[in-house]
Chains A and B, each alone.
Chain A
Amino acid sequence: MSKITEGAKVVLRVENICKCFNTNEILRGISFEIKKGETKVVIGPSGSGKSTLLRCINQLTVPDKGSIWLEGEEVTHHMKDISRFRQKMGMVFQDFNLFDHLNALQNVTIGLIKVKKMDKKEAEAKAMEELKRVGLEKQACLYPAQLSGGQKQRVSIARALAMDPTVILFDEPTSALDPELIGEVLEVIKDLAEGGMTMIVVTHEMGFARSVASEIIFIEEGIVIDQGTPHKLFTNPEHERTKRFIHKIAELYGETENNQ
């Protein structure tokens, strides 16, 4: 059920991104673009550079080569001004990274107050709205240490949403969760996708990838091996490696072809 995004404008362009750590080439020239409202799912074996790719997009890791364009502006050219771009690129981390000394509500308001200079009342109203959107308005006053993993991740999604980002980057949002908590987080992300949010999601959840992705990108050893609609990648991948990887993951997570 990929969304209709034909003719929509490109909001993020990734051009020939390369990154080495010492002599270890993590990314070897990755390019793609994402249109408004699209959900791109990035899959690939661990160590293939998926997380590094996301971090290169919002410059938490500075790429060695290549450029990132957000709504026509070259991010990699305005490093002095990087915080302006990061505001528009929400990020959801594998291990949540909620601010431990702040409660759920404050976790969501802090960016609005400190970065967007919003007034406190206004920020709280906006934050409550976002917490409601992820189903956590009742937990607003709880601290991260008092929340379950799934709840923490939903708060961190609300934190990203509150900034009204152009695109949200999800870095394996369910990998640190107990199996029974994965569903609640995927549900939230799915709702966002259906609501037209532009997202890049790194994940190993193939069922989720299949049902939500507008396009799947398969990365291995720092390059794009295969890319296309879920239908294409799951049924008729160009490369044998893609097929093998998808099968391996599906086996591991017990997902069969018709597990939708």
Chain B
Amino acid sequence: MIREYISLIIQTFPYLLSGSITTIGLVCGALGLGFVLGLPMAIGQVYGNKFISGFISLYVWFFRGLPELVLLFLFYFGLFTTLHLNLSAFHAAILVLGLRSAAYQSQIFRGSLNSIGEGQMLAALSLGMKKYNAVYDIILPQALRISIPGWSNEYAILLKDSATAYAIGVMEILTRASFVATRTYQPLPVYFLTGVIFIVLTYGGVKLLAMLEKRLKTPGFGEER
């Protein structure tokens, strides 16, 4: 039986591996979209006026409040169809996961922005910097460094959440695994391999981000003197 399992795993591996390309594309797309939207949202929430920060809070409240599957169905089957938006399942998944990730990422960045002492802003302004320059040149470089651990958490969560794209038929790892499992009647080795691939992807990405964090660390910062 073990031999049978192993041979099935070897046969299935390339098929699932090409699924992981889809997964990686999905995760990178969603994380990227989440970053591009989430960072300005965080800045708006911290430095913007009441109207802007109120609007962003509403956005975050919505996307954090619904289960991911509900969001996928609501947008892909509901909204996009009604609006006659002809998006592929893959692109729809990137969009929905990205919009959702933006809500979470904005809160990661907001926390980091708030943790930068008021004095940094005062010093920047006292040099004659405009407020947006101070945010861009002084506050952000520090806040982004602090954000990396939280952001790597978001990566790990989003990677695994991406498996829900299975439900709208994106050809990612889980979708492919379920095809093989139903066809071969051998769920154990197939889902075992699926699990291994997810663990490796999670570990690899988190490791990569940890390396980035180390590389970007400000010398002496946060060390005992």
Interface on A for B, CB 8 Å cutoff? 58, 60, 83-87, 89-91, 93, 95-101, 103, 110-111, 114-115, 142-146, 156, 159, 163
Contacts and interface: CB of A to CB of B under 8 A. Distances in A.
Interface in B86-137: 117, 119-120, 122-130, 133, 137
Given A99-B120, A101-B141, A143 B219 contact: yes
A38 to B, nearest CB: 21
Given A100-B142, A145-B221, A145-B223, A87 B128 contact: yes
Interface residues of B, number: 25
5 contacts: A91-B126, A93-B126, A100-B218, A101-B221, A143-B221
B221 A98 contact: no
Contacts of B119: 93, 95-97
A215 B142 CA distance: 40
A143 B218 contact: yes
Contacts of B130: 83
B126 A101 contact: no
A114 B133 contact: yes
B67 interface: no
A84 B222 CA distance: 35
Interface of B: 117, 119-120, 122-130, 133, 137-138, 141-142, 145, 218-223, 225
B123 A97 contact: yes
Contacts of B225: 145
B126 A90 contact: yes
Interface centre among B120, B123, B137, B220 (most CB of A within 10 A): B123
Nearest to A95: B119
B122 A93 contact: yes
Contacts of A91: 122-123, 126
Contacts of A96: 119
A100 B127 contact: no
Contacts of A110: 127, 137-138
A118 to B, nearest CB: 13
Contacts of B221: 100-101, 143-145
A58 B126 contact: yes
